[in-house]
Each structure stands twice: as structure tokens, then as C-alpha cells.
A and B are shown apart, each in its own frame.
Chain A
Amino acid sequence: MERFLLKNIDRSDLTDMDEYIKFGGYSAILKALEMKPSDIIDEVKRSGLRGRGGAGFPTGMKWSFAAADPKKPKYLICNADEGEPGTFKDKPILEKNPHLLIEGMIISGYALQAEYGYIYLRGEYPKAKDILEKAIKQAYNRGYLGDNIHGKEVNFHLYVHQGAGAYICGEETALIESLEGKRGQPKIKPPFPVNEGFLSKPTVVNNVETLANIPYIIEIGAEAYSKIGSPECPGPKLFSVSGNVKNPGVYELPMGTTLREIIYTHCGGIRDDKKLKAVIPGGISTPILTPDKIDCPMDFVNMPKYGSMLGSGAVMVFDETVDLAKICLRAMKFFEHESCGKCTPCREGIGWMRAILERICSGSGMAGDIELLIEVSKNIAGKTFCPLGDGAAVVVQSFINNFRQEFEQHISKEFSKEIKVAA
């Protein structure tokens, strides 16, 4: 497949606007400005683009809800807070192809009739902040941002807003709270941000990768775009692959590419030619899969049939030497640290699960601990405002469902010496 999102990023400095334009950049804007905003939304709807942040909601439909709301001003927020362990797919765009994101945001802002855009960037990406701010300045200087863009009655102002180390701010309502200068705690929906978002005005929150797809859709048209990838989830997809593979990294592949192809064709297989033990397909909060499931096509529709989720497309690969109980414990430390504390089941339950896992992994596990873990997880799942609690619960449940023996071995202290701690 011809690359679009990562096109030329390794052979040219696309952070320089002239280089970006040399390779065809900013041409989609000129085409979009000749279209009516509603036509752009229709084009995105016809493309079949689904949000790349994890939930997979149809982008054009989300846009149409915000566009139909008469309240003004409207806001477009780019969610650049990829904090899910395993996920680093947006980083190449942010650090190496910032103008693609900016171009996508200008087109999207025009389609939504939004006058203000913010890139909510995670605090852990200081390099990306400098790069984005420089690129935004270039775009202002060349008349692609600001008032009367290219002589049209189109105004769009874009700023970078730096987060400060809170995973939960990747959830859109928490992100908006954070942008408003509050603690980044999620809110119950409805009202949805498309109607009552930033400063109670209609707000669209889209992931970096989603917005980076927009110029491509305008450039080649919805019909051609919808033929890429799988029929129900068209388009290219960025997969970030980490763990025990020979060639980890970010890969742009058609949506629907199988895990087997990603691991063995694109990433060169398992490091040191060891045996594959498990795969987390979509970031740490998606259910872990056993090796017999790796023929699943990676898209929003097929992954649930195999017992997991596409999530952000963050593939984490574990070989036969990895102690999965300890991976589960580390994941739970993460969820405990990142729980915003608003919902009691999440705040208290995750810490409890971490404590149980800690004693299991330290050799002090007791009979009944596994059942207790399952019980606690069931009392978190579905009982919180946002999916963080669900994510923690599903990790525990899927690890136990698929690899119960590893936990039992810890408890019975018969753990194989051949299986090392991760690391």
C-alpha cells in the first residue's frame, strides 16, 4: 500500500513547510476551500473514516452533530494525548510530519465552521511541542492560519496546549476539563462534547491520526479512500508495535491487516526466534490474546470477534520468557496511578487488584486470590464514568482467562525457572 500518513518522513525534513509543500502538502486545503463545509462533511462521511483514537466512532457523523448545533464559537480539539502504554503511533506525525496534522485541522475546522483549534499534547512529548509550534508559526506566516485564510472568509486559529502527565486526559470529557484549567476528570455523557464541550460550546475532539487522514480523503476522494483497508473500517491505519519483535516501530498498513502479518512480515518475527506467548493488540487496556488468535484482521469490527479490541492499534508482543503475571501487575500499577479518583469502584478497586497481584507475584499469594481478583474486577467493570476502570478490569480478566496457570504457579511457588521476570 502506498503510504500517506508516513509518506516521505524518513527521507525528507517535512517539519519544514517548503519541503512539505514540495511533496504536495497544503494542496488539499485549496481544494477544500472551494467546497462548501457541508460537502466536506459529506465527503468524510462517505469515506467511512472512523476515529483512530480507540473508540472507532464514525468521524463524519460526529462532525455533523457539532455542525448542526447553532451555538458559537465552535471548537476543534486534536487529541494528542496518547498515553496508553504501547501506543506511540501519533508521535511520528507530531514530530516528523506536523504540517499534515495542521492541514487536516484547518480543513476540519473549516468544515465545522470552528474558529479555534487546540492541539492537546501530552506533557511527555516536549520535542513535539517545539516542532508543532514552529510549524504553526510557519502556517500563520503563509496565510494558512489566522483570519481570512487565503482571501476567503475563513478564520481558524490554532494553538498547542500542553497536558501535564495524566493518562485520563486522553478521554475526551477529561481532556476538555483539563483544557478548561480543571482537574482532568471525566464527565458523564450526555451531554456530549459535540453539543456542550469546551467552555460549554460545540466541540469536536479527534485523534491526531484521524485528523491526519482528512487531507488524504479530500485529495483522493471518498470513493477511492473507502477502497483501502477493510469494507467496514476503511483507510490506512498506524500500528505501533513494541515488545519482543525483531523490528518494533510504527507501521502504516491497510486497516484489517492481520496480527500475524504485522508481527511476522513487517516486524520480522519474534526476537531471537523465540516462541510467541501472547499479544496485546490495541494498547494495555485491550484484552490479551493467545497465539492461536493472531490471524484476526485488525479493525474495529473483527477484533471483538476474536475476544479483543483494536483500540489504538498498539501491538505489544510477548515471547515465551515473559512472566505475564508480572506484566499484569505492572499494568495494574499504571491504572492505579492514573485513576482520576472520581469513581469509587475504580479508585478503590484497582488499588485492591494491584495489592493482590503484588502478593501473588512476590510469592505470598493465597488460595482464593485468583477468584478474589475476578470478583473485584467484576465490581469495577461497567460501574465507572469512563473506560479506565473497564480497561483495568478487562486486563485482569483476560490475563486470568488466558493464562491462569501462570498466576497459579506463582501462588503454588512452582514457577518455572525458565520463565524470567520480564527483564
Chain B
Amino acid sequence: MLSERVVNEINQIQKRYLDARACLLPALYVVQREHGWISPDALEAVGDLLNVPKATVKGVSTFYSMFRHRPIGRHVIQLCTNVACMIMGAERLVDILRSRYGIEPNSTTDDGRFSLVIMECIGACGTAPAMLVDSDFYDNLTEENVIEILERYK
């Protein structure tokens, strides 16, 4: 299930900790980066590798909002709508994405291009509203520039 490269990377990261289980979150990140999401089989494989029961791995991975447990679009838009972003117009941006791409929060476009995730605070309150597209950060979003930015992601 896990490629040799992924296993090697997880084994390397394990050396940073005196307890294998402490490597669980980093290991899940490695898997997610490789596959885009964490499948039930991948959960089991990570558990086997770190000697942690599958149910425990699932319990941990589903606790954290940044781990994804179903296939996602090619690009993930993580848009913050918390207080600072809200008063600077983030909710209007959600409407714009809805009308431009036909996408609802926590769903994926029909063509698999974008998934939209509504984020809690992403620490850009001074330059709100802000979003992450994959791991690229954008702030000072406006009704005009948000589409312009997203059109760079095909």
C-alpha cells in the first residue's frame, strides 16, 4: 500500500522521536502528500508501520481537520471565514466561488479541479481575507483578485 519512498521517509522521520507513535501525525502528512488523501488502506498501513492499531490511527487522523479522508480535487482551496476575514468580506468570496465554479463549502467541483474547505483562522487577520490554495498562501483577497488567482490553477 505505501510506496518504498513513503516508508523510507516515515522511517527517517521516526528517528526524531524516542517513541514511534509520536511520528503518527508526520507519517499521515507524508501519506496525504503522496496520495492527496488518506484512504482506509493507508490508515492500516501506517498503523502497521508504527505498530499502532488501525482504529487508533483512524481516531487520531479524523480528529484533525487538515487530514482528508476522501478523494479531493486537484487543488484544495482553504478559505478562512473567521471573524477578521468575515468583516473584510470573506463570506462574499464564498458566494463568488459558488457562482463561478458551482462549488459549495466542503465539496469538489464536478470536473475535479477544486475542492473548497472553509477554514477556521489561518493567522492572516491583518491582511484578511486570506486563503491557502494547496500550500500557497494568498491574502488581501478581493472579489476581483480571487478568481484571477484561482485561474492559475488548472
Contacts and interface: CB of A to CB of B under 8 A. Distances in A.
Interface of A: 73, 82-88, 91, 116, 122-127, 157, 159, 161-167, 178-184, 199, 240-244, 248-250, 284, 314, 316, 318, 322, 327, 330-331, 334, 337-338, 340, 421-423
B120 A167 contact: yes
Contact of B121 (A182, A322, A334, A423): A334
B123 A88 contact: yes
A422 B86 contact: yes
B150 interface: no
Given A125-B123, A164-B25, A167-B121, 4 more contacts: A180-B21, A182-B21, A240-B125, A334-B120
| 10 A-B pairs with least C-beta separation | A181-B24, A164-B64, A242-B125, A165-B66, A165-B65, A248-B126, A181-B21, A126-B135, A422-B87, A85-B121
Contacts of B122: 124
B102 interface: no
Nearest to A201: B18
Chain B interface size, under 10 / 10 to 19 / 20 to 34 / 35 or more: 35 or more
A199 B19 contact: yes
A68 B51 CA distance: 34
B120 A337 contact: yes
B126 A249 contact: yes
Contact of A182 (B60, B82, B87, B123): B60
18 contacts: A82-B123, A85-B120, A85-B121, A86-B121, A123-B66, A124-B121, A164-B29, A164-B65, A166-B63, A166-B64, A167-B121, A181-B19, A248-B127, A316-B83, A322-B87, A330-B81, A422-B87, A423-B86
B86 A88 contact: no
Contacts of B128: 242
A86 B83 contact: yes
B79 to A, nearest CB: 12
Contacts of A316: 83-84, 125
A313 B43 CA distance: 39
A292 to B, nearest CB: 22
Contact of B87 (A127, A243, A337): A243
Contacts of B7: none
B22 A180 contact: yes
B92 A423 contact: yes
A338 B120 CA distance: 9
B84 A242 contact: yes
B25 A181 contact: yes
Interface string B81-112: 11110111111100000000000000000000
B42 to A, nearest CB: 15
Contacts of A240: 125-126
Contacts of A184: 63-64
A164 B66 contact: yes
Q: Which of B19, B66, B120, B135 lies at the interface centre, i.e. has the most chain A CB atoms within 10 A of its CB?
A: B120
Contacts of A199: 18-19, 22
A330 B94 CA distance: 15
A276 to B, nearest CB: 14
Nearest to B27: A181
Contacts of B22: 179-181, 199
Contacts of A322: 87
Nearest to A183: B63
A318 B119 CA distance: 22
A201 to B, nearest CB: 9
B49 interface: no
A126 B29 CA distance: 12
B116 to A, nearest CB: 15
Given A181-B25, A423-B91, A165 B64 contact: yes
